[in-house]
Amino acid sequence: MGQTAEKHGDNYINHSAGIKSWLLTLDHKRIGLMYFCTTMVFFLVGGIFALMMRMELFSPGMQYMTQDTFNKFFTYHGAIMVFMVIIPLIPAALGNLVLPMQLGAKDVAFPRWNLVSYYIYLGGALLAASTLFIKQVDTGWTFYTPYSIRSSTSATYVLLGAFTMGFSSILTGLNFIVTIHKLRAPGLTWDRLPLFLWALYATSVIQVLATPVLAITLLLLTLERTLGIGIFDPKLGGDPVLFQHFFWFYSHPAVYIMILPAMGVISEIIPAFSRKPIFGYKAIAAATFGIALVSFVVWGHHLFVSGQSELANFVFSLLTMFVAIPTGVKVFSWLGTLYKGSLRFDVPLLYAFGFLFVFTIGGLTGVFLAVVSVDVHLTDTYFVIAHFHYVMVGGTILAFLAGLHYWFPKFTGKMYHDGLAKVACWFVMIGFNVTFFPQFIVGALGMPRRYADYLPQFTEYNRLSTIGSWILGAGLFMVFINIARSLKSGKPAGDNPWGALTLEWQTPSPPPMENFKHDPVVTDGPYEYRGENVHWGMNA
Amino acid sequence: MSEHVTAAERLAGGHAHHFKDGDAEFQACKSGMWIFLVTEVLFFSGLFVMYAVLRVFNHDMMHEAHQLLNWKLGATNTVILICSSLSMAMAVTAAQTGRTKDCVRNLWITELFAVGFLCVKYVEYSHKIHEGILPGALWHYAEMSVAKAPLFISVYFVMTGIHALHVIVGMGVIYSLIRRAGRGDFGPNYFTPVEMTGLYWHFVDLVWIYLFPLLYLVS
């Protein structure tokens, strides 16, 4: 861990100056930062929509907006958060930053395509967002037919935007798969590959295999709206349920595009902050692929009430429960790693604990919903909303925040403000649970999702939920204040503040343009916290 | 080696800075191309599933409606595309062995076949548009009143239309290869773009090999 001497040297941030050197860069770290900034802007926009919806739901009756406006708000909240934030968030932002470095590579396999992928993402996102200034969209992020065929809003541009962003996702996935295969450092055998990379690998496989199906589906729906081809339109003899099958054939695996990399982040952080080799390395890697595999054969659980056959319901219900097995393997492996570890409660570990706690609730309620008889009662209620926010926010966003604090010192060379980060973490945790836990209850009591209004007996739950959204919003706001502040005036972080063993920590912070001063050679696994590594070293 | 590699450097065995040698880079490109083709397969698979669902539920309609298509023109296009695959394969071999002139000539022949394919397609499409044999809501062909026949024509236009789009994109890429080959960019040390385009072109042909019987030869 040679430090200090290189501290002020040439790195990827100061390597070249000027806006053009960023916009046309081929460097994976700079592209990762560009992804990060863009997703954060959309995260803010999607979050504002959520806060405004919660404001409206503070009391029964309509206070601040019309029902039509509310329909548009939940559509934008969903579409922005899914397509523009959570899908690119960990793979494209953190993945781009970390993946080549953990491999000991100078860059991804196809740097130029990497940049192209960013601009495709940006173009698609702007196209979809531009509808805010035209006739908006009110179909819900799932674009269910036949309503989405007839909606007089600018749904077509949102469809084309999501279609475009899909290609960015495909290119990133393709790039990562080839990079992991072809650019591993000498000695970095498959059984020494960090688990974050196994997670990104499995994610990339899903991106590559599932996204094209979404692409053709959205294209068909666009043609449906523009030419009236009739494939999904019952009026012309088409089949609207076929759309649901097509849509979920992508969008269910897409849920794992969102959660697998999050699990990868957790697998990095837990051993580093327990000072122990990870428990069940091979089991976690295999479980990652197990989840990816099963993810392709469970889409029918979104169609339990669509009129599909009893047999299909039975099969999809059973298959869906299989997801719980590899997921359980992971959760127990993480707990096994923590057991008797010498834990240090830095912010990344705090978020990782939050993840374990909240994600487990999200995962288990998923098993409830996999049971057909229960799902028939709970479908389209707030129970479903609560379930997937426990997975998507409580899982992906918390893991992202964990990863953000974990790798922030590496890629900026600065340390975040520890006190503020801890306060923010508690705000996020409490705010999140106060927002979404009441939704489980109110959903089970029968409050339907996507309605702008509700019956008076649900008022308390909704009030609590809205107050929670303010706490959560305040917590996230503090995270961003902390980042902005630390970029300017954070203390120097050192090359390896966590004493972690993966390759990205064995080079100066921020890393030099080509990542490593000397081409690294790997001689051991990524989590071999043994001997002198067991103790929190001089950096700690 | 740096991030940017010029054509001359490549011909001399150069490679991008993050690969250990030119062969590693070539192998990476090849994997990337195959993965891209997998995504293309899945892209088209959506269309094939759509076709299958329609056919399972409307078997008789499909049989009636497919007679609106001219199988002779479809067969002609099949032959044209198979020939274009041959000329493309010859262009790849020529590039690998450094016979630039041969390479350029075969690429031009491939382009000609592609133009031929699109001309036949134009004849087919314009005839249908003229008669009112159009997708879904646009259909106004009085001589056939089989229920849901417009859906078959939707499937026909969407599948062949997206395929034709792939042919047009391929023509653009092949044209850029012709220019680069003419400049002398390719040789035994560097022929990656020609080989990758070849893979793409064969894939586009293969899709047509499936489309032709499924659409024109329903029985």
- The predicted-structure confidence for A294-329, as pLDDT tens digits, reads as follows 999 999 999 999 989 999 999 999 999 999 999 999
Mean pLDDT score of chain B, rounded to an integer? 93
Q: Is the pLDDT of residue B94 over 80?
A: yes
What phi and psi, each to the nearest 5 degrees, are found at residue A59? -130, 155
> Does A110 contact B31 at a Cβ distance shorter than 8 Å?
no
Task: Examine residue A265 and state whether it is found in any structural domain, yes or no.
Answer: yes
Of A108, A212, A237, the CB nearest to B148: A237
Mutating which of A150, A182, A245, A248 best tests the B interface, going by the most B Cβ atoms within 10 A?
A182
Please give the pLDDT value at position A3. Answer: 43
Task: Examine residue A14 and state whether it is found in any structural domain, yes or no.
Answer: no
Nearest-Cα distance to chain B for A81, in Å, is: 24
* CATH for A212: 1.20.210.10
Task: Confirm or reject contact between A253 and chain B (CB < 8 A).
Answer: no
How many domains is chain A built from? Answer: 1
> Does A182 contact B31 at a Cβ distance shorter than 8 Å?
yes
Nearest-Cα distance to chain B for A287, in Å, is: 23
- Chain A residues within an 8 Å CB radius of B44: 216
Each domain of chain B, given as residue ranges in start order, spans 18-216
Task: Examine residue A539 and state whether it is found in any structural domain, yes or no.
Answer: no
Reference A95, options A329, A314, A260; nearest CA is A260
Quick: pLDDT tens for A126-176. Answer: 999 999 999 999 999 999 999 999 999 999 999 999 999 999 999 999 999
What phi and psi, each to the nearest 5 degrees, are found at residue A170? -60, -45
Q: Where are the beta strands (DSSP E) in A390-537?
A: 414-415, 491-492
Reference B218, options B153, B165, B170; nearest CA is B153
Please give the pLDDT value at position A436. Answer: 97
Quick: pLDDT tens for A510-524. Answer: 999 999 999 999 999
- Chain A residues within an 8 Å CB radius of B24: 182
Handedness of CA A515, A519, A525, A528 (dihedral sign): negative
What is the domain extent for residue A485? 33-528
The reported pTM is 0.95
Give the confidence band of A8 by pLDDT, cuts at 50, 70, 90: low
Of B29, B42, B158, the CB nearest to A229: B158
What is the pLDDT averaged over residues A98-115? 96
The distance in angstroms from the start CA to the end CA of chain A is 13
Q: Is the pLDDT of residue A540 over 50?
A: no
Residue A179's CB: how many other CB atoms inside 10 A?
27
Angle at A411 between CA A410 and CA A417, to 5 degrees: 70
Q: Could you tell me the fold of the domain covering B18-216? A: Four Helix Bundle (Hemerythrin (Met), subunit A) (1.20.120)
Task: Confirm or reject contact between A241 and chain B (CB < 8 A).
Answer: no
What phi and psi, each to the nearest 5 degrees, are found at residue B3? -65, -40
Q: Which residue of A has its CA nearest to B52?
A: A242
Q: Is the pLDDT of residue A7 over 60?
A: no
Mean pLDDT score of chain A, rounded to an integer? 94
What phi and psi, each to the nearest 5 degrees, are found at residue B166? -65, -35
Of B24, B49, B135, the CB nearest to A229: B135
> Does A110 contact B44 at a Cβ distance shorter than 8 Å?
no
Please give the pLDDT value at position A4. Answer: 43
Quick: pLDDT tens for A182-226. Answer: 999 999 999 999 999 999 999 999 999 999 999 999 999 999 999
Task: Examine residue A274 and state whether it is found in any structural domain, yes or no.
Answer: yes
Please give the pLDDT value at position B2. Answer: 59
**A119 close to A169: Cβ distance less than 8 angstroms:** no
Please give the pLDDT value at position B3. Answer: 64
Mutating which of A117, A181, A216, A309 best tests the B interface, going by the most B Cβ atoms within 10 A?
A216
